[in-house]
Structure 1
Amino acid sequence: MQSIETYTLQNKSFTNKESITIYKEALNQLKCDSAYYCYELLDSGQNEHQELQFFLFESAEEGLLAVMPFLMREVLINGIKTQYYDVSSPWGYNGPFFRKDLSKEDRIGFWNAVDAWYCDHSVVSEFLRFNFFQNYIDYSGTAVHTLLNVKGNIRDWEAF
């Protein structure tokens, strides 16, 4: 069992080519081929009120364990900026993309690190659209099932 002290959670913004490259390399390392994590798609939701960012979650012993894109938004009350923030999934189904063989302890470590980061950065709410690969397992918040989705292989691309 791994202790939380061996984990690091990095937060990065997509503000330059270097951070975009780091994000794309992390997806490649985790063998993520889902279009919902593609930077070019995610970037379409950025504006003056919300900034596209991502987490990299690593272990000293095992290296990269997860990557999670998100939008960080200012909380406005009656049009006035507050000191608080909201986190939301970018368009599509994403949330964290975990390494395929990730242990329960590592998933819990991820959510503990994210929760601590939220507290340190005045994040008071979070809305995630989890992906179709059960990345909600061991989530530290309250997950509410709101949609039914169908997932499968397309057997006949011509007919599709």
Structure 2
Amino acid sequence: MDKDNLMQGVIPPEPPIKAQSGVHELKSRLEWGEPAFTILDVRPRNAYNDGHIMGAMPMPMESLAERAKSSLAPSRDIYVYGETDEQTAEAAQSLRSAGFEHVSELKGGFPAWKAIAGPTEGIVESQAPKDQEVYNVVTQLQHHTDTQKNLRDN
């Protein structure tokens, strides 16, 4: 019996990536430690440098498809985010048109990620004081609920 058959059914497979994902889904995959996905930030380079989701790769919109094709497998799970949900959708469509099979638009982008205290890096992010409230689960849940309500209302 080979190793793959032995492990089958022991470790549940990840569900297929959705066309749109919330930040909690991405954070869950990061916390699980799953290495088989890529996060792309398509915002301008200065925005990326100021702050981005930890581990995200910068790929500006104007060269997105070409750069992705030269560095990523077409079957790779890709989460993409831009400055707006509209830019995110445009980037996802560009990747899908270039042949990428598993692309998910990260709804709410970087602001939504920060709202759930997801890990960040960047020049501005490294200088921001860490709020004690980040460690308060009740405060974070209330903040997330308020943020999601605001996103739905807008």
TM range, smaller chain: under 0.3
What's the TM-score, normalizing by structure 2?
A: 0.28
Higher helix content, 1 or 2: 2
